[in-house]
Amino acid sequence: MPERIRQTARSKRDGKPAATPWGSATIPTKHFEDAAAWEAWLEQNYGDPDGIWMKISRRGSGIPSVTYDQALDIALCFGWIDGQRKSLDAQFFLQRFAPRRKNSNWSKRNVEKVTALIEAGRMRPPGQAEIDAAKADGRWEKAYASPSVIEVPDDFQRALNKNPKAKAFFESLSKMKRYPFLYRLEIVKREETQLDSLLSRLVDFCILLSLLERAEVLKNFAELELCLTRLECTTCPAGKAEAMGEDQFARPAQLGTGRINAALRTVSCSNQQHCAQHPY
């Protein structure tokens, strides 16, 4: 069982709130009527390791609020970044903001943003410290593309073209669901690791997921489960895919981006000797 699930179970057993993705049991939710209020709050609280959930008013609500773009620019100035977004109600959505994690990768979008913020004289010492650290250890030059602009690499496209089923499934995915593949390919190529091996396994991953499209033609659920064994190998030390319940195999649409990411970590495991019973 993944540690996150164990933590949630223990929290329920002990009557405590479950931990959040950033590691705190309780994350405050705050609403700022304008950019100045958000900036003033960060001046006093940028060192808070857990961050906040920010309530941002929806367009047309008529409720004064800092906008997402304004909030992100100010967050970057103080060494913070944005995270998960989720719906709250008809008037607001919630946007996560927290300090950048140590050694976290930079996106090209944020590199461009902070460059403009520096030129505008808006950068603050905490934000500059994060920039300096990224430049010092090479993360600045290795910034990755965001989902809206990342492109399918030619070599991966050629690999897909050789396998119509894999290609059809990949092309059926939304931009956000394609992103785990493309991001990992970009990171691998950037680090000059075993690209050919990863390309082959990513195509295998597309083929396996395409089985979900025709799950009803398989003899039973056990057959489908066997097809997906490689995605759920629990002996893989480089990253264990979260166990999927039987109901999750019904249609590919039920595979969220996070679930694809979890499975992809196993498929692209650099330890090619794991799981001798089901080798790649």
Tens of pLDDT along 142-187? 888 888 888 888 888 888 888 887 888 888 878 887 887 788 777 7
Question: Rounded CA gap, 253 and 246, in Å?
Answer: 14
Question: What is the reported pTM?
Answer: 0.61
Question: Rounded CA gap, 124 and 128, in Å?
Answer: 6
| Tokens 């057993």 belong to residue | 13
Question: Rounded CA gap, 126 and 69, in Å?
Answer: 19
Closest CA to 31 of 100, 98, 94: 94
Give bridge partners of residue 144 from the DSSP assignment: 107
Q: Tens digit of pLDDT for each residue in 229-263? A: 444 443 333 333 333 333 333 334 444 555 555 55
CB atoms within 10 A of CB 232: 18
Tell me: pLDDT of 1 over 60: no
pLDDT of res. 86: 92
**Amino acid present at 98:** A
Q: What is the CA radius of gyration of the chain?
A: 21
* Per-residue CA distances from 252 to 43, 185, 215, 230 (Å): 45, 22, 10, 17
With contact defined as beta carbons under 8 Å apart, do 238 and 275 qualify? no
pLDDT of res. 145: 86
**Amino acid present at 191:** E
Domain locations along the chain:
3-137, 154-267
With contact defined as beta carbons under 8 Å apart, do 179 and 147 qualify? yes
Tally of CA atoms within 13 A in the half-sphere of 147 that contains its CB: 10
Give bridge partners of residue 93 from the DSSP assignment: 56, 87
Maximum Cα–Cα distance across the chain: 65
Question: Rounded CA gap, 94 and 97, in Å?
Answer: 10
**Amino acid present at 51:** G
DSSP 147: T
